[in-house]
Amino acid sequence: MTISEQAASRTFPPFSLAGLLRGTFAPKKGQKVCILIDLEDPRAIKGFEFLNNPVLSIQRNAITYFYEGLKNGVLEELGLQGGEIFSYQITGGSNLDLPDQAFAPDGREVSLEKDVYPAYDIILCISTFSATAPLTAFAKKFGFRGATLHGLNHVILTTGLSVDYDDVSAEAEKLRLGMTRADWVEIDFLHDGKTHTLHLDLGKQEAQKSHGLCRGDEPDVANLPAGEIYFVPTGADGAFPMKYEDGTIGLMHVSGGRIAKAELLMGSEATVRAHNEKLASDPVTGELGELGFGTQILPVSGRDIQDEKIRGTIHVATGRSDHLGGALTPDKFASRTNATHDDILFAPHKTPEILVTQARMHRNGGIEILIEKFEPSAYLKGLLA
C-alpha cells in the first residue's frame, strides 16, 4: 500500500489532553502549565471577546480542547497547577521573535519575560505562526519546557496529536540511525519535463529527530505534531523549484548554501521579483537552514506542521536555524522582521506540479536511495522492519 492508503486505513484513539501532556512531558505533580495564543488584537482575549470571530479557528480550538480541558479535570487528574491563558500580538511570520506584551482574559497586561516565562514549568503555544524558534530560546533562558502547536485544526487533533509518542520516537530513532552521519543528500525534482537537482552537504553530522517527547528537567520545546528526521546543512548547491503561496513556481538557484536568485518558471513575475529583491537586500534570508524527512503514517491535514511529518515527504527550510542547532540567529539578518524560519514542503497534495523523483544519501562510502516519487524506499522500509 502507498503511504496515503496506509493513512486512510489507520485508526486513531480519541484525542486526550491528559494523554498528550502525560506522553509528551511526563509532568510532575505541582508543576504549573499555561497556554499562549496569538491575536491581531491581543486585548480581544478580555472576556474571550475573540471567540465572536468565526475565522479564529486555531484560537477557538485552543480554548475548547486545551484551556477548557485543563480547567475541566485535566489539571486535577495530572496534579498540575495553573491553567491560565495569555494572548500576544500575532507576529506575521514563521518563527519571528515574540513580543513581550501579552494580555489575560481579565484584561490585565502582562510581560511574557517577567510574568509568564519564569512562572511556569510547561508552556503550550497554540498560534497562527510557528513560535518554535523563539520559544526554544526563551526556554533555555528561563528553564521551562513547552510545545508549539501552530495551525491546530480538527484533523491534527484527531490524528497527529492522538498517537502514542513513545511509538513515534521509537520509529524515528530507527530512521535516524539509518541516516545519521551522512556526507550529503541529493534531491531530484521534476517540473514541466525538466529535472533539477539540489545537493546538500551534511558533513557527517548527527541526524536529529523531532519525536514529541520533552521529558525530564532540561529546558526544551517540542514541535507538535512531531515525527521527522532533520539536519542543518553545512552547504548546498544546485537548483530546486519552489511553489509560492500564490501558486507561482520559481526555480531557486543555490550556491554556497544559500538561494542566490529565483527564476520564474510559471505564474507571477512580480512574486519572483519581490523575492529577488529580498534576497538582494538581506542575503541570509535565502540560507538553507534545514533538511527534513517525515517519519509518520498520517492523513493530510492541510497544515504543514502535520503534513511535513508524513513519511515520504521532504522539506527544506530557509532562514534562522538556531533552534535546530544552527548558527543563523535573528541578529544576523539585515532586519529582524526577516528573521523567519520558512519550511518549503514537497508533498503530493502540496506541490502536485513538482515531483520528487528521488532523494539519495551518501553515507559510509555508499549511496542509499531514501525516497522515490514521495514513497519511502526499500532502504527506509528495511530500517523500520
Distance CA 258, CA 254 (A): 5
Helix (H, G, I), strand (E, B) or coil at 383: helix
Asked whether residue 233 falls in the same domain as residue 153, the answer is: no
The values of phi and psi at residue 253, to 5°, are: -90, 120
Residue 161: per-residue pLDDT: 98
Residue 12: per-residue pLDDT: 97
Residue 327: per-residue pLDDT: 93
Distance CA 288, CA 278 (A): 15
Q: How far is CA 38 from CA 50, 151, 228, 339, in A?
A: 11, 11, 26, 18
Residue 126 lies in a domain: yes
Residue 3 lies in a domain: no
Residue 193 lies in a domain: yes
The continuous run of DSSP H or E covering 21 comes out as helix 17-25
Looking at 133, 160, 187, the residue that finishes a domain is: 160
Asked whether residue 201 falls in the same domain as residue 52, the answer is: no
Place of cell 523523483: 357
Asked whether residue 351 falls in the same domain as residue 228, the answer is: yes
Asked whether residue 238 falls in the same domain as residue 278, the answer is: yes
Give the three cell numbers for residue 256: 554556497
Residue 84: per-residue pLDDT: 98
> Is residue 269 exposed (0-12), middle (13-18) or buried (19+ Cβ within 10 Å)?
exposed
Residue 9 lies in a domain: no
pTM here is 0.96
Cis peptide before 283 (omega within 30 of 0): no
Residues of the chain with pLDDT under 70: none
Contact 95, 341 (CB under 8 A): yes
Distance CA 90, CA 338 (A): 15
Question: Could you list the residue range(s) of the whole structural domain that residue 71 is in?
Answer: 17-160
Distance CA 103, CA 195 (A): 51
Residue 293: per-residue pLDDT: 98
Q: What is the CATH number of the domain that holds 111?
A: 3.40.50
Helix (H, G, I), strand (E, B) or coil at 111: strand
Q: Name, in order, each residue with C-beta under 8 angstroms of 274's C-beta and a sequence gap of 6 or more.
A: none
Asked whether residue 349 falls in the same domain as residue 376, the answer is: yes
Asked whether residue 143 falls in the same domain as residue 192, the answer is: no
Residue 192 lies in a domain: yes
Residue 80 lies in a domain: yes
The values of phi and psi at residue 191, to 5°, are: -140, 125
Strands 220-223 and 145-148: parallel
The total number of structural domains in the chain stands at 2
Longest CA–CA span in the chain (Å) reads: 62
Asked whether residue 44 falls in the same domain as residue 175, the answer is: no
- Pick from 316, 376, 374, 302: nearest CA to 345: 316
Residue 230 lies in a domain: yes
Residue 10 lies in a domain: no
Q: In sequence order, what E strands does the chain have?
A: 32-39, 81-89, 101-103, 109-111, 122-126, 145-148, 184-191, 194-201, 208-210, 220-223, 228-231, 235-243, 249-255, 258-266, 288-294, 314-319, 341-346, 355-363, 366-372, 375-376
> Is residue 55 exposed (0-12), middle (13-18) or buried (19+ Cβ within 10 Å)?
exposed
Looking at 134, 160, 186, the residue that finishes a domain is: 160
Q: How far is CA 193 from CA 220, 242, 319, in A?
A: 44, 15, 30
Residue 125: per-residue pLDDT: 98
Residue 46: per-residue pLDDT: 98
Residue 332: per-residue pLDDT: 95
Asked whether residue 175 falls in the same domain as residue 153, the answer is: no
Asked whether residue 120 falls in the same domain as residue 240, the answer is: no
Asked whether residue 188 falls in the same domain as residue 77, the answer is: no
Residue 272: per-residue pLDDT: 98
Asked whether residue 240 falls in the same domain as residue 371, the answer is: yes
Helix (H, G, I), strand (E, B) or coil at 307: helix
Asked whether residue 150 falls in the same domain as residue 180, the answer is: no
Distance CA 198, CA 253 (A): 9
pLDDT (tens digit per residue) in 151-195: 999 999 999 999 999 999 999 999 999 999 999 999 999 999 999
Looking at 160, 186, 203, the residue that finishes a domain is: 160
Distance CA 135, CA 123 (A): 9
Residue 119: per-residue pLDDT: 98
